Chains A and B, each alone.
Chain A
Amino acid sequence: MTNALLKEMKLSASILSYLFIAFGLMFLVPGYPILCGAFFVSLGLFQSFQWAREANDIVFSSLLPIAKRDVVVAKYLFVCMIEGCGIILMGISVILRMTVFADSDIYRSNALMNANLFALGVAFVIFGIFNWIFVGGFFKTAYKFAGPFVRFIIVAFVIIFLAEAVHHVPGLEFMNAFGTDHMGSQLISLAAGVLIYMALTILSCRKACKDFEEIDL
């Protein structure tokens, strides 16, 4: 599997997938819908799928001495690796805004969503949705990706909109917590995001392995 992942990183990946990880730092941008950072990391991953399709990567991978399902698993591992790098940058940004910049005026007067553990949890959900709708959708044909990506865009922006709006609902203000306020709720929302991500990714990967096994290349 290490070799298959290395192949993904060196041959199949578009350079944009690596560069777009930096959008994780959008969690530091005040007055901006920060969850778009997660969307842009996903957009970078989309470029790799586009690049790989042009390079006939799936057929090449299927001819390598690995089981057909490992072609799928390696692709998921690569996706998770890039998402993980994005999450690390977002996490660093969240920690900075929860600590060093906790009392910064520019963030306190921010009309939009604050970068906290709830936001990080939602970023996990967006990546989980990407894996479920886009990556899983791609492996239904191992060729068509426009439809799955459009569906992902729609769902991702609905989630971003809801996440931005939810703290305006009376009783849910804690979702826009600053610093270490409402730490218990924040940690629960982060844990829920991680669990949703893991569930969507694992279920999607299993289904994609099954779908890909049935495909004629």
Chain B
Amino acid sequence: MNIVEVQDLVKKYPAFELKDVSFGLESGRITGFIGRNGAGKTTTIKAMLNLIHPDSGDVRYFGSPLLKSEADIKKRIGYSTGTVSWYPRKRIRDIVSIVKRFYDTWDEAAYRKYLDLFALDEMKTPLELSEGMKVKLNLLLALSHRSEVLILDEPTSGLDPFSRNELLEIFEDLKKEGVAVFFSTHIISDIEKCADDIIYISKGRIVAAMDKDAFIRQYSEEGETLEETMLRLEGGVDHD
């Protein structure tokens, strides 16, 4: 059963349009949201978080519409949208001390675990962090309150290969705990390594939303890697 339902999202901009985007996410599965830059990944994720106002369509979590139970739903999901770009001169400790007050389910042990794992210093400010460490700080906040759904926009971008691997292992652990992990990326190898499902978006339209193996069976030619398949598909997709 889907715990997240995105139905017929439409958002029109002068130079871009999100067209009838629909898909679902299940508990205990890792879903890779894939597409080239400008395909509509971030727009979709922003609509899923009520950061943008879709022209039409609906987003439901745990069976409830996002707009009707926004606060309750956001307590049960974790999200990270790129690198941290807020409060550059505030100490991480001070930012966290405020953030954790919003979550009844804040898990201090998990917070400490990821703080150590990501080698983050609480006394530093976001301004003192590299781009990769900023991504980790964002992930730290998303991972520390026992989320049932994790929505991450390009979480592996800017991370070194070791950190990316660590993060993908964290996804696997969360999956075992029944968390639905949804992450966007244009790094195909990340999808290849850990995703159970693939949602492929191109030019604002969902081209495929299915199990990874089914995707490979349907779209890959013999001997092709997933990356080669995607490159070929991107060359051939036409929505006009």
Contacts and interface: CB of A to CB of B under 8 A. Distances in A.
Nearest to B101: A3
B70 to A, nearest CB: 5
A203 interface: no
Nearest to A8: B98
A87 to B, nearest CB: 27
A205 B103 CA distance: 26
Interface stretch (B43-51, B115-123, B222-230): B43-51
Given A56-B85, A57-B87, A63-B81, A217 B52 contact: yes
Contacts of B75: 65
A60 B71 contact: no
Given A3-B101, A56-B85, A217-B46, A11 B94 contact: yes
Interface size class of A (residues with CB under 8 A): 20 to 34
B87 A64 contact: no
A167 interface: no
B74 interface: yes
Contacts of A213: 53
A64 B51 contact: no
B86 A56 contact: yes
A64 B99 contact: yes
A214 to B, nearest CB: 6
B90 interface: yes
Contacts of A59: 51, 81, 86
A144 to B, nearest CB: 18
Nearest to A215: B53
Given A6-B98, A11-B95, A68 B52 contact: no
B85 A70 contact: no
A63 B94 contact: no
Contacts of B86: 55-57, 59-60
A210 to B, nearest CB: 12
Contacts of A47: none
A217 B85 CA distance: 14
B101 A6 contact: yes
B103 A65 contact: yes
Contacts of B94: 10-11
B46 A11 contact: no
A64 B74 contact: yes
B33 interface: no
A65 B74 contact: yes
A19 B74 CA distance: 35
Nearest to B89: A55
Interface string B27-63: 0000000000000000000100111110000000000
B79 interface: yes
Nearest to B70: A67
Contact of B49 (A10, A63, A67, A214): A63
B16 interface: no
A62 interface: yes
A11 B72 CA distance: 23
Given A65-B75, A216-B46, 19 more contacts: A3-B98, A11-B87, A11-B94, A11-B98, A55-B87, A56-B85, A57-B87, A59-B86, A62-B50, A62-B51, A63-B51, A63-B81, A64-B99, A65-B102, A65-B103, A68-B50, A68-B70, A216-B51, A217-B46
Interface of A: 3, 6-7, 10-11, 54-57, 59-60, 62-68, 70, 213-217
Interface of B: 46, 49-53, 70-75, 79, 81, 85-90, 94-95, 98-99, 101-103
What are the 10 tightest A-B residue pairs by CB atom distance, in nearest-first order? A65-B74, A216-B52, A65-B75, A56-B86, A60-B86, A217-B51, A67-B70, A3-B101, A55-B87, A7-B98
19 contacts: A3-B101, A6-B101, A11-B95, A11-B98, A55-B87, A55-B89, A56-B85, A56-B86, A56-B87, A59-B51, A60-B86, A63-B74, A64-B99, A65-B71, A66-B74, A66-B102, A67-B70, A68-B50, A217-B51
